[in-house]
Each structure stands twice: as C-alpha cells, then as structure tokens.
Amino acid sequence: TINYISQVDGIEPVLVGHSSGGGLFQAVLQSGKAKSSGLIPLCAIPFTGSNTVYKNWGKEDPWCMTRLLWDLGDMRSPLSTPTLVKKVFFSEEYEGVEEFSKTLNRGESYFWATSMLLKYADAKTIQQSCNNKVFVVGGEEDKLVTPNIVQNLASEFGTSSEVVSKSGHMIMVDRNWREAADVVVKKMEEWFSKSN
C-alpha cells in the first residue's frame, strides 16, 4: 500500500502509526520494502521491543494474564469490559469508553502481539528509509507507552518528541485528540513548508 501511494501520488507518504501500527511501520521501513517522506509514531511500540509496554499493562491490570488463561486465550479478554478498556487506554477524564468499547476488533493475532516483544529494528536503517524525518508523539496519561518510553524512542532516533497533555494511549480519540492532530500537522508543515 505504501508503494502504491508513492506511485499514484508521485511522492512517498508520511507514515503516522499508532501503537502496534507504529511498530509495524518501523518494521516495514527496517525491511527496506518501502520508503516514506517521514515517520510519526503515535504512542507506538518502540523498535527496541514491546516487553516494557506489556509489563506496564500487567501493572495496570495484574489479573490480565490469569483472565487470558481463564478465557482460553481469547485475545479480547484483557479488554473485555469498558472498565478494563479505560484503565489501559484512556485518560482519567475521558467519558466515551462505553461507545469506544463497542468498536474494538473482536480478535487479534498472538503472532502480531508477540512479534515485537524484542528489538526488531534499528534507528539508523529506519531513518534512512524515511529521509531522516522522525517525530515521536505520546500521551501524558498513557499507561502502556509511557512518556518515558516516548522520550527514550525519540532519543534512540536522535530526534524530538512531544507528549500531548491529558491524553491516554488512544491519543487519536481521547479528550485532547485535536491537540494530538495539531501536533502532527504542525510537524508536517515544518518538514514540508516551501521555505525548507
């Protein structure tokens, strides 16, 4: 799809990926199968591995693994109630959890969830595949990809990061989603303004 967009539009797209999707974009750029004009990971699994992210999930929901086993490995088990969804995905003040919970995918692959546990890429290769344009965005109240993980990822890339206030892991639908969108748009304008 990335290569198709590049062919149709005549320009490599900026990849903006959230959570595991941000991890996937890092892996694709690492593979050399696609190039982009820039990379903006949003609360993304870092290329250094997701083990810390899953440890953070366990801290927020100590019964997560027990529930997963009890439910015979149902990948929806850790997010089976609006209370569990809010606990790991949203800021304290977010109120749309009931509606959001209804939209969650009913299944996720174990392979997908575990494929990024350990380091799966390196900063230099990713940067070469996206014109050395990387900007890392996180949520102040993200309990999974914490602001510390966001800052560490930015440091690995030798780039800047921004943490959006009062936002949890689901930064693009949490209460400050407009601020998150503005942060992304501002960075792309900075990267691609005619004066650059």
Distance CA 46, CA 38 (A): 16
Give the pLDDT confidence of 132-163 residue by residue, as tens digits: 999 999 999 999 999 999 999 999 999 999 99
pLDDT at 159: 97
Statement: residue 109 has pLDDT above 70: no
Q: Which tokens belong to 179?
A: 């601020």
- Segment 63-83 shows an average pLDDT of 83
Distance CA 115, CA 14 (A): 24
pLDDT at 107: 65
pLDDT at 6: 83
Statement: residue 196 has pLDDT above 60: no
Give the pLDDT confidence of 43-58 residue by residue, as tens digits: 999 999 999 999 999 9
Q: Which tokens belong to 125?
A: 């290769």
Statement: residue 113 has pLDDT above 70: yes
Greater pLDDT, 110 or 22: 22
Statement: residue 38 has pLDDT above 60: yes
Distance CA 51, CA 85 (A): 20
Q: At 106, is the pLDDT very low, low, confident or very high (cuts 50, 70, 90)?
A: low
Distance CA 132, CA 78 (A): 36
Output the pTM of the full model: 0.91
pLDDT at 2: 86
Greater pLDDT, 107 or 32: 32
Side-chain-facing half-sphere of 1: CA atoms under 13 Å:
4
